[in-house]
Amino acid sequence: MFSSVKEKNSGFSFGIPVLTTKPSSSNGLTTLTAAPTTSVQPAFGTTTLTRDDNSEVTDSSETREPRPQFTFLGLKLESPWRNMDWTEEQKTSLMETITSYRRSCEEVPQARVLLLGPVSSGKSSFISSVQSVFNGRVTNRAMVGSFSSGFTKKLQSFNIRGKKGEDHTGLVLCDTMGMSEDGITGLTLHDILSVVKGHVPEGHKFSPDQPVSASETVGYVKRPSLKDKVHCVAFVVDASKITTYPKGLSTTFKQLRKHISDLGVHQVALLTHVDQVCLQTAKNVTGVYESRTIQDVMGKAAALLGMSTSYIVPVKNYSSELDLDVNTDVLLLSAVDHILQYADLYFQDNAPQNKELKTALDL
């Protein structure tokens, strides 16, 4: 945990042990329906078991032998709790909004968004998925899931390019190293804040033994301008691990949030892997806001992060798919749109012309 921002090695890390998803105790959120073919490892609650003939199965080892293969269907809400327009037109409209996004601050060419989260939460996948939508095909640009993505210590920024032949969008997504699982070699709070403040040069290799500093870090940006700074932080958490993340992670997130908020940077969160907690959503992502399971996981993510659910958006990244799906694209683009709204708040607060105005109003 963080003891001091100035401490040489605060020992901060997201210290995530190797996690496996297991069914939790009953929480009444998931209906299990016997199905002959598909087998999905349950992520949440295991109360109502129903066979094809609708006879109930109680959750005991006796009745589970011989073990049938269950398909897990999330409970459906009567109506979606957020409204989305799952159409090609909406996808096009979101792409246009993002491509033509201009900060309310002329001297900053692009919004820099830092993705922060435990290893394997889907940070690199999100960057690849968003770029895939603009490329018109699934591509893996951000070293997703590779050994190096989990353990590389580099700061990597990705310019999100517009559709083929078009210019860059106004968005740069900054990938951070996967945070360590041993609790020792992870990112320190000091280093994270150095990135947010804009001191850390592109490609800098982080090391817990060598905190970012003006004297030791090659290319250290002594006087970062507005364009060097991070304008929004997006936390990334894996929906299928929400209930099994170590307890200390919540404290870590909250400390981190406090320090980042003190810098005036707004934060949002992406809840990835939603397809792994709700089969209906896995089959058809348009059901994401109708799934009670996902609504429940969103609540748990909010508690973990210490933020209201209104800052959190569910995301299904492209992982094994070879083809784009319009609904998945709409969900991804909505997440980008959500991020950009909060980046814009930063510009509204910090653009020199607005700052002058704010100071004048405050006087």
Q: Does 121 bind ligand GDP (CB under 6 A)?
A: yes
Q: Which range of residues in 10-18, 32-40, 143-151, 324-332 is near ligand GDP by CB under 6 A? A: 143-151
Among 316, 324, 328, 334, binds ligand GDP (CB under 6 A): 316
Q: What, of ligand GDP, Mg ion, none, does residue 293 touch, CB below 5 to 8 Å by kind?
A: none
Q: Examine residue 15 and tell whether it contacts ligand GDP (CB under 6 A).
A: no
- Of 244, 342, 339, the closest CA to residue 301 belongs to 244
Q: Which stretch binds ligand GDP (CB under 6 A): 9-17, 82-90, 197-205, 267-275?
A: 267-275
Query: Any contact of residue 145 with ligand GDP (CB under 6 A)?
Result: yes
30-34 β-sheet, strand order: 56-57, 48-50, 30-34, 70-74
How far from chain centre, in Å, is Cα 62? 40
Report the side by side order of strands in the sheet with 168-175: 156-161, 168-175, 111-116, 232-238, 266-272, 312-314
Nearest CA to 173 among 129, 210, 206, 216? 129
Which of the listed partners (Mg ion, ligand GDP, none) does 112 bind, with a CB threshold of 5 to 8 Å by partner kind?
none
CB of 156 to Mg ion, least distance (A): 9
Q: Does residue 241 belong to the site contacting ligand GDP (CB under 6 A)? A: no
Is 119 among the residues that bind ligand GDP (CB under 6 A)?
A: yes
Closer to Mg ion at the Cβ: 149 or 280?
A: 149
Q: 67 with 34: CB under 8 angstroms?
A: no
The answer to whether residues 189 and 256 touch, using CB atoms and an 8 Å cutoff, is: yes
Burial grade of 250 (CB within 10 A; 0-12, 13-18, 19 or more): middle
Over the window 62 to 101, marking each residue x when it contacts ligand GDP by CB under 6 A and - when it does not, the resulting string is: ----------------------------------------
Judged by beta carbon, residue 230 or residue 294, the one nearer ligand GDP is 294
In the complex, least distance from residue 154 CB atom to Mg ion, rounded to whole angstroms: 10
DSSP 301: H
Residues ≥6 apart with Cβ < 8 Å to 29: 44, 45, 47, 74, 75, 292, 293, 296
The binding site for ligand GDP (CB under 6 A) comprises: 117, 119-125, 144-145, 149-150, 178, 272-273, 275-276, 315-317, 319
